[in-house]
Chain A
């Protein structure tokens, strides 16, 4: 069974974190071994996601925006068993120095405290 693609539906599903995880799994499955059969049904009442066997049109997989991440993506990274990931990491090879740490002065303990009459 095929679930028709529509931009409206895509937008609706991509806002759910669970959907992103499942679609990413679908893309990995597609790259590694062919098209996997998934369909995503949104349960309006409970908001939960159910996965059933189906096929996805290719454009759904290619048009997905990347997942948000705080870590810069390594450039030119190729994953195989002989490569060390850290060598290609832009974090470790970045020529830009970290900002210099600045010593901050802790506020002193007050020698008196003003308050309404006690």
Chain B
């Protein structure tokens, strides 16, 4: 089993391959380059990224790369599966909330600007139109996109699939984890769930054979603006950081991308509606840590908990 760790997309990354192939080390060394390339194209913080260029050309039909088209299609899928709760069209709301730079550069905030009372209408599924055949994208005027969470889940899945050509693989993209295949010993991959109150501790240990697990929360990426706490998960219904009783939501799903989207949905919905939402998605299992310190698990969660063989 070989591993590489690096930083990309403003997060800590890790990739592990379990294989006898002599090409593992060489392939693992390529993983940071994959992520650097994806970040260069998909980051809203880089002015010359393909996404930034697309955002500057709303109201026009733009030819995009195959990669951008792939991620935008993933974003559209997220909009559909989340009922509009997870959408890339929340960039303006994030910036108004104060998230206008990478979180690593949050040493100081610019002058406070009041949040709009009525919020921002961000549920605009039709704001992005993709012509797959011509690989063109039309962004409705005034719309700009953020692909942050969606891109991380997408990147974890893609990297795990690529590494999976050599054997079983795990890719951890800042907490969005994709798993491809069982260990050589036929065992599942043990994954810990961090305790948001004590990040050095773990609340649970789950076993995953294939798929993804992701956590969304307001325990880390949060800041104060106008004397109130803000965080980076926008509720498109209000255009403001989600008001929720959940501190972190963790979901296991068939892919890291789906897990990332589902974790955000549960987080935005809150514990009661989030629990029901998980129950209506039999391929998913989840665990919520509430601000009160309570932990709520969906019915399927125990299926994944580590137990003696």
Interface, chain A (partner B; CB < 8 A): 104-105, 107-118
Contact = CB atoms under 8 A, between A and B. Distances in A.
Given A113-B175, A114-B250, 4 more contacts: A116-B221, A116-B248, A117-B152, A117-B176
Nearest to A103: B308
Given A104-B308, A105-B308, A112-B14, A117 B202 contact: no
Interface in B188-220: 189-194, 196, 199, 202, 205, 213-220
B196 A111 contact: no
Given A107-B205, A118-B175, A113 B193 contact: yes
Interface string B218-254: 1111000000000010000000000000001010000
B50 interface: no
Contacts of B189: 111-112
B191 A111 contact: yes
A114 B175 contact: yes
Contacts of A114: 172, 175-177, 191-194, 213-215, 250
Contact of B205 (A105, A110, A117): A110
B309 interface: yes
B11 interface: yes
Contact of A115 (B218, B232, B248): B248
In this complex, the interface size class of chain B, counting residues with CB under 8 Å from chain A, is 35 or more
Contacts of B103: 117
A112 B232 CA distance: 23
B85 interface: no
A112 B16 CA distance: 9
Given A104-B308, A105-B309, A111-B170, A116 B177 contact: no
17 contacts: A110-B202, A111-B16, A112-B16, A112-B177, A113-B193, A113-B202, A114-B192, A114-B194, A114-B213, A115-B199, A115-B220, A116-B221, A117-B11, A117-B149, A117-B232, A118-B11, A118-B220
Contacts of B272: none
A95 to B, nearest CB: 31
A87 B174 CA distance: 65
Given A107-B190, A112-B191, A117 B174 contact: yes
Nearest to B212: A114
B276 interface: no
Contacts of B308: 104-105
